Amino acid sequence: MQLKQSLIIAIIFGLISVIAWEFYWRSQEYYPTLNDEKALWAITRSKVEKATKEDVIVLGSSRAYFDIQVDEWESITGKKPIQLASTGSSPLPTFHDIVNNSNFTGTVLIGVTPGLFFSTTFPGAFPWNRPQSKVDFYENRTYAQRLNYQLSIPLQKNFVFMSADEEEWADDIDLKSLLRSIKMGNRTGEPIQPPFYYFGDVNLDRNMRMTAKTLTDTTFANTIKEVWAFFGKGSPPPDKESTMKYFLEDLKKYKEKGGNVVLMRCPSSGGVRIGENMGLPRAEFWDDLVKQADVNAYHFEDYESLKHLICPESSHLSGEDADYFTREILKIMNQDNAITNL
């Protein structure tokens, strides 16, 4: 009887603690969101296996992720693109996976963020390892991992405290992140990265949309600009030679398979655009890539309907502008018949 009472008290105490923890974080203006993690990417990657010539895969880094809105695309074309872009990543490992490990021969729309596309082909480098780890997870995931993720989705959708994104956001609230937020001083003397806050929400279709706070709170948006400046100052020089060679070899294979590739340069503005112009001038990088790739390519600065777009934190579009960008870029590509069976 005493053991039963102890168990009941423990359960009640546990429930009260969980409820209090949940309500505390909600009082801090947090809300339930899906985690942008390898398991979600893998589910989306699996759609490639049944994709047809009429399908479109979106690759790239976070700009292609934020700026191409899956639902908006579907409202125009009647079909959702397969969104496989990845934040802070080179698109080259994922394109290599599509070319060499799938039978897909539809359209691959590749967002080119110069600082990441031309960054490196070194396997251990952050922009390369991040997307490659997603590819490896897809290839090696177990049935237990698949089931575990499916069971986690209802919890992620309903409980704030389940937030445990693979990204290291400064405002993550899982235990590991909270412990990591404890600062013991700068013992190495190396530059300290400014706090990097969560600024995009994702859904099960991997549609990433900028949070309203990023658009309306300029102080918050400025914290993200500080992170871009930090990354810009500390990033190594681009490796154009190896990245171009790697991409063009895969592109040749994909063309020989009958596949279609479209290149897209999404908007950037402010200090980020100034830095890109200085470190990765268009003529040397984008224009040369387009010339050697010999595919349809679209740079936002070339179109009156796109070049006025301003990114709230200098690198990604707000939700409303991303809807607009998706509609306009589709209209422009459609005029060239750039996408198979659009």
- Mean model confidence pLDDT for the chain: 89
Tens digits of residue pLDDT in 224-253: 999 999 988 878 899 999 999 999 999 999
Is 14's pLDDT higher than 80?
no
Span 87-116, average pLDDT: 97
Is 180's pLDDT higher than 70?
no
Quickly state the pLDDT bin for 19 (edges 50, 70, 90). Answer: confident
10 Å CB burial of residue 29 (0-12, 13-18, 19+) is: exposed
Nearest CA-CA partner of 266 in 218, 213, 210, 311 = 311
Span 84-103, average pLDDT: 97
Residue pair 62/87 in contact (Cβ under 8 Å)? The answer is: yes
Domain boundaries of the chain, sorted by first residue: 1-27, 31-185+192-335
Tens digits of residue pLDDT in 321-335: 999 999 999 999 999
Is the model more confident about 33 or about 208?
208
pLDDT of residue 197: 85
CATH architecture designation of domain 31-185+192-335: 3-Layer(aba) Sandwich (3.40)
Is 311's pLDDT higher than 90?
yes
Span 109-132, average pLDDT: 96
Question: Which range is least confidently modeled, 42-51, 57-66, 130-139, 184-193?
Answer: 184-193
CA–CA distances in Å: residue 44 to residues 37, 85, 128, 192, 326: 11, 11, 19, 35, 20
Question: Which range is least confidently modeled, 12-16, 44-48, 118-122, 171-175?
Answer: 171-175
SS3 260: strand
SS3 109: strand
- The amino acid sitting at 196 is F
CA–CA distances in Å: residue 41 to residues 131, 139, 198: 10, 12, 18
Question: Which range is least confidently modeled, 41-50, 106-115, 129-138, 224-233?
Answer: 224-233
pLDDT of residue 174: 60
Is the model more confident about 20 or about 197?
197
Is 129's pLDDT higher than 90?
yes
